[in-house]
Structure 1
């Protein structure tokens, strides 16, 4: 059974656990549930949409469905990562580095943070740009090995990975639907809410 299968195909026991997590108070002790399930719960609560894929072919199919659903066939895709552009070069996407022209921000990330369902990014994805400068429509390509429990754990892994040159502009994508509540959340660092799709590839 693949990672995440139990979330969608599991029996009553998993369903009860998920409902318990969603109805617990913010200050109650955290339940010991798997990091993948915790991320899924929080990510969906934030308004994100994700497509879970077991192969890169499914990633391409999911990307095509997202583009078709939103009528983005002629849209310009902002991509600041040359390696990402190379990997999706055969998909007839119109890439640009102009934020004024782009309708969609297509990016990778550093980590997926389970505790609050956020997506940790830095200068490897954003260069020097701030979140409010990129389009409100975002597609993130990530893998299950990028899941971490907390932002602190993610930061430690970034420091370990980039020992000689730690990236700058570290921030999180968290709010994927605009509400009065998240507009006042100081953790967004002044960024606007985004509409976000996550293409999640199993690599464990």
Structure 2
């Protein structure tokens, strides 16, 4: 049984609250398992998190997201050919969309200490985060979770020996701040779903 299976094994709201309370502001980050730190910070930032044990669950969750948002037979922005079949299966157009309902992508890494998602030009081309649709669906794996942004840059450096990507950026805020927050200045909040596939 994986750490994630243990972490998400209970659907009891009381146990979820107990897990949240485990993260005291006095607990050093390096003592919290990186997976739990990511999930805690990601949800705190307003992200919607769906854990998937296998590819079949990824497809099921994706269909539920499309149904919940009425995205069937709409348009999507997607730059990664390996994801096109997921859109085709659900009759969602993606060739030169004029008004995409959402953005579908993978990512470079998931940054635990911020609860953010690290992208490069491989996923978003040369677009800035505020130029992407406000609805985003991300497919990632548990092995992509790393502790810090600098760890993420190191992973990118090792992964792409040639054809090094550009436009390396993160998206961190997944809901509008209730009041003005200077830390969110210049960033646009996204309605973001993360489908996290267990691969460890």
Same fold (TM over 0.5): yes
Q: Which residue in 1 is equivalent to 2:148? A: 150
CA drift of 1:34 comes to: 1.1
**1:200 pairs with 2:196:** yes
Secondary structure at the counterpart of residue 75 of structure 1: coil
CA drift of 1:182 comes to: 7.4
TM-score using structure 2 length: 0.88
The answer (yes or no) to whether the contact 2:73–2:91 under 8 Å persists in 1 is no
The answer (yes or no) to whether the contact 2:121–2:168 under 8 Å persists in 1 is yes
Q: Over aligned residues, Cα RMSD in angstroms?
A: 2.5
Distance 2:109 2:99 in 1: 28
Q: Which residue in 1 is equivalent to 2:2? A: 2
Q: Which residue in 2 is equivalent to 1:176? A: 174
Find runs of 4+ consecutive structure 1 residues off by over 6 angstroms: 10-15
Equivalence map 1:96-107=2 (5 Å): 96-98=95-97, 100-107=98-105
CA drift of 1:94 comes to: 1.9
Which 10-residue stretch deviates more, 149-158 or 172-181? 172-181
Which 10-residue stretch deviates more, 132-141 or 190-199? 190-199
CA drift of 1:52 comes to: 0.7
**1:20 pairs with 2:22:** yes
CA drift of 1:92 comes to: 2.5
CA drift of 1:16 comes to: 5.0
Q: 1:139 aligns with which of 137, 142, 162?
A: 137
Give 5+ residue unaligned stretches, structure 2: none
Distance 2:162 2:191 in 1: 34
Q: Tell me the number of residue pairs that the alignment of Structure 1 and Structure 2 aligns.
A: 198
Give 5+ residue unaligned stretches, structure 1: none
Distance 1:197 1:145 in 2: 18
